Amino acid sequence: MNCLNNSEFHTLIEKIRRRPDETVSGQWFNVITYGTSSFIQGNIINDDASSGIMRNIASLVDIVLIDDIAGFWPEIQGHPITMTEESALIDYLSSRGAHEVELIVPERNRARPVDWDRFDETTEYKMYKEHIYPAIMDTIVDITYDRGMNDLLSGHVGSVEPEKNAVRLLDMGCGSGNLIEDINARFRLGSGEKQGGCIDGGALAEVSKKRLPVFECYGVDINPANVDAAEEKHLKNIFLGDCEHIDGIFPPDLNFDIIIFSGLLNRQVTDRDKAFRILDKTLKKLKHGGYVIITGYTSCQLTAENLTHMGIDVLKKCIPGNLFKDYFDYYLRQLYLGRKVD
C-alpha cells in the first residue's frame, strides 16, 4: 500500500470501521489519537502469538476510556487492522503535525518514585542529556523565535536593561540544575553574560544572527542533594521544596513566562491526583499567554484534554516521527507544549 493522502486515509478508516468488532487482548495498551480516530498500540495476544506481538496500530476503537485499559492484561473491542494497513497508517501518522497526533499512556504502575541522590549521577540522566533536554531547548527556541511570544516577549528582546525584562522561566523538579545550566549557557549571552556550560561555534553564530532574550531561571526540587548540586554549579534561584506547595515557595507576585516539567509529572509523581494538583497550582503562577512544556523519560500522567480543561491551548502533543520506532529502544515520544489562555 502506497503512502496515503488525506482522502485515502479517511477512506481507509471508513473501510476499517465497517468491519465487525473483535476483542483485542494484550499485556498492555496505549492509545494513539488523530482527529476522531483512536488506535490501540501494544503487546497483543492472539492465537498466532500466545506470548504477544508488538503492534503499533492493532485496532481502531470507537470508544475508549483510559481507565478501562489501565494496568496490565487489558481487553477492548475494536475493528481489526491488517499488517499492510498498519504500515500505511504508520507512514501517514508519522508525517502529521505535532499538534495533531497524541500518544496516551494509561496508568500501569503506581510503584513508589525512584530514590535519587544526585540526579546527574543516575543512569537516567544520560537519556535526559542526550534526548530530552535538547528537545526542550528546541521547543524554547521554537516559541521564542518561530512562533514568537508576541506581547509576552516584546519587552524582553534587545532591552536596554535586559535583566529587568528577562524571560522568567521555572523548572519544576529541576534535579541537579542541568537543564537550567544548559538554558543559561545558550541564552544568557543575550546580555553578554555566560553562566555555566559551554558555548560552541554554532551557538555563537546563532547569537550573532538573532537578538536573544535574556532568561532568568528558577528551579524547585524536593531533594536536598539535588539543590546542593545545583548550588555547586553556582546556579541562582534554586529552591528546596515539594512542588505541590509552590504557593509557599514563591511570593504571590512572582509569576513566570515559561514553566517546564521535565520528568516530574512523568516519573517522580506516580499518583495521578497529585500530578493534577501540582499542575493546577503551578499554572496559577504562569502568566496569561505564557507557555508550559511537559515531557520526560516515562509516560505523562496527563492528556491534551486535561490541559485544555485547565485553560491551556495545546500546541504540541508528541513527536510523531518517534511514535512508531522500536518500542524497546528509547525515543522521546511525548512532549506537550501549551499556552495559557484562561
The residue-averaged pLDDT of 4-28 equals 96
Residue from 164, 171, 229 nearest 191 by CA = 164
Name, of 30-34, 151-155, 185-189, 269-273, the range with top average pLDDT.
30-34
Structure confidence at residue 266 (pLDDT): 78
What is the band of 146 on the pLDDT scale with cuts at 50, 70, 90?
A: low
Q: How large is the average pLDDT for residues 110-122?
A: 71
Q: What is the pLDDT of residue 114?
A: 57
First to last CA, the chain: 45
pTM across the whole model: 0.87
Q: Which residue has the higher pLDDT, 40 or 273?
A: 40
**CATH 3.40.50.150 residue ranges in the chain?**
119-340
Q: Spell 50-80 as b/e; 16+ CB within 10 A means b.
A: eeeeebbbbbbbeebeeeebbeeebebebbe
Q: What percent of the chain has pLDDT over 70?
A: 82
Average pLDDT, the chain: 85
Confidence of residue 115 (pLDDT cuts 50, 70, 90): low
Q: Between these two residues, 336 and 200, which has the higher pLDDT value?
A: 336
Q: What is the pLDDT of residue 52?
A: 80
What number is the average pLDDT over the span 132-147?
86
Architecture of the domain whose range is 119-340: 3-Layer(aba) Sandwich (3.40)
